[in-house]
């Protein structure tokens, strides 16, 4: 009976979780964008100074009302040239891709320079043209086929930025109308400033609507959440950091959470609700007493 009620409760309180992949060249503002999203939808989140990402940053955000009752799991992956080979390992499990462009650093070179003899390395290619090559490599991957693509022209607060119309006409159209853009079914180009927050909420709203529209092709992960009694610890999903707190905790589990771990949590929650001097009761499997309700000291 306990397991039945637990299953019903978990099903009733489960939420959809969508994974969003933040990609782009180094110094495009991906980490700042992630921190701005966390600050927008989690008011208690502190303002942190960002540093270049080496590897990945990940955050799971529960969207508050009146937004859709879903979780966003956002993966910020390093954009250095040496790290871009790791991107492909994320494509198959993501529900949307956000490609961030530094609209204040587009460079002066053209794609023709790449074939010239004086273009000996990738540093000789303009940044906007490098973005084009990198985005085309993303779209060429079969695992990214059919995923909604959002192009964010970041740093629109800068005086030296390129207008989003120019980026859309000179960059995005060249990519999406090219041979490697045939796998894109849903895309949009939006201006934003990750530093000031301008355009961030509009970007998140577009992502939520398009991922929900595409849920048959890329079903979301069902994430279970419930509230624990006041303790000095929080048990979170696997691979997520434990957070120390003394308030009522929002506990979140993904569908990858093992039944043993969930059972351990429920057992701990029931015992923690008892006063410290009150004996607890549990089912034991002692010899000759299997299945009997026993009193433990």
**Domain range annotation of the chain:** 17-213, 220-295
Q: Is 278 labelled a binding residue?
A: no
**Multiple choice CATH, 17-213, 3.40.980.20, 3.20.20.70, 3.30.420.40, 3.40.50.300:** 3.40.50.300
Q: Is 26 labelled a binding residue?
A: yes
The pLDDT tens digits along the chain (297 residues) read 777 777 777 666 778 999 999 999 999 999 999 999 998 888 776 666 666 667 788 999 988 888 888 999 999 999 898 899 899 999 999 999 999 999 988 765 444 443 343 443 444 457 778 888 999 999 999 999 889 999 999 999 999 898 888 888 878 888 887 766 666 678 899 999 999 999 999 999 999 999 999 999 999 998 875 443 333 333 334 444 433 333 333 334 344 444 444 444 444 444 444 444 444 333 333 344 444 344 444
Separation of alpha carbons 228 and 226, rounded Å: 7
Q: Are 128 and 153 in contact (CB under 8 A)?
A: no
Q: Is 154 labelled a binding residue?
A: yes
- Beta carbons within 8 Å of 189's beta carbon, 6+ residues apart: 151, 153, 164, 167, 168, 172
Q: Is 112 labelled a binding residue?
A: no
State the pLDDT at residue 217: 92
Closest to 20 in 3D by CA, of 71, 82, 84, 80: 71
Q: Is 78 labelled a binding residue?
A: no
Bridge partners, residue 19, by sequence = 73
Q: Is 156 labelled a binding residue?
A: yes
pLDDT tens track for 146-202: 899 999 999 999 998 988 888 888 788 888 877 666 666 788 999 999 999 999 999
Separation of alpha carbons 79 and 200, rounded Å: 20
Q: Is 107 labelled a binding residue?
A: no
Q: Are 154 and 194 in contact (CB under 8 A)?
A: yes
Place of tokens 């010239």: 116
What distance lies between CA 136 and its chain's CA centroid?
A: 22
What distance lies between CA 208 and its chain's CA centroid?
A: 12
Separation of alpha carbons 258 and 264, rounded Å: 10
Tokens, residue 130: 């490098």
Output the DSSP codes for 83-141: GGGGTHHHHTT-SEEEEEEETT---S--HHHHHSTT--SGGGS-HHHHHHHHHHHHHTS
Element (H, E) at 151: strand 149-154
Q: Is 27 labelled a binding residue?
A: yes
Separation of alpha carbons 238 and 19, rounded Å: 16
């Amino acid at each position: 009976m306990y397991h039945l009620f637990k299953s019903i409760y978990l099903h009733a309180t489960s939420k959809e979780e969508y994974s969003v992949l933040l990609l782009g060249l180094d110094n495009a503002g991906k980490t700042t964008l992630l921190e701005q999203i966390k600050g927008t939808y989690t008011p208690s989140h502190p303002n942190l100074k960002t540093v270049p990402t080496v590897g990945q940053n990940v955050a799971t955000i529960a969207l508050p009302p009146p937004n859709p009752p879903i979780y966003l799991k956002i993966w910020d992956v390093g954009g250095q040239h040496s790290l871009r080979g790791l991107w492909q390992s994320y494509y198959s499990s993501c529900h949307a891709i956000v490609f961030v462009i530094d609209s204040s650093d587009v460079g002066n070179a053209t794609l023709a320079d790449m074939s010239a003899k004086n273009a000996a390395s990738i540093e000789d290619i303009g940044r906007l043209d490098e973005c084009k090559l990198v985005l085309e490599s993303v779209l060429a991957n079969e695992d990214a086929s059919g995923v909604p693509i959002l192009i964010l022209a970041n740093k629109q607060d800068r005086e030296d930025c390129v207008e989003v119309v120019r980026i859309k006409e000179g960059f995005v159209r060249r990519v999406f109308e090219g041979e490697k853009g045939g796998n894109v079914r849903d895309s949009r180009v939006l201006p934003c400033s990750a530093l000031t927050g301008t355009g961030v909420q509009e970007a998140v709203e577009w992502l939520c609507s398009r991922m929900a529209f595409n849920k048959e092709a890329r079903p979301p992960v069902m994430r279970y959440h419930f509230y624990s009694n006041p303790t000095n610890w929080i048990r979170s999903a696997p691979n997520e950091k434990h957070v120390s707190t003394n308030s009522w905790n929002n506990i979140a589990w993904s569908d990858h959470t093992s039944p043993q771990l969930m059972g351990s949590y429920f057992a701990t929650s029931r015992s923690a609700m008892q006063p410290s001097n009150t004996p607890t009761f549990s089912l034991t499997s002692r010899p000759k007493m299997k299945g009997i309700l026993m009193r433990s000291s």
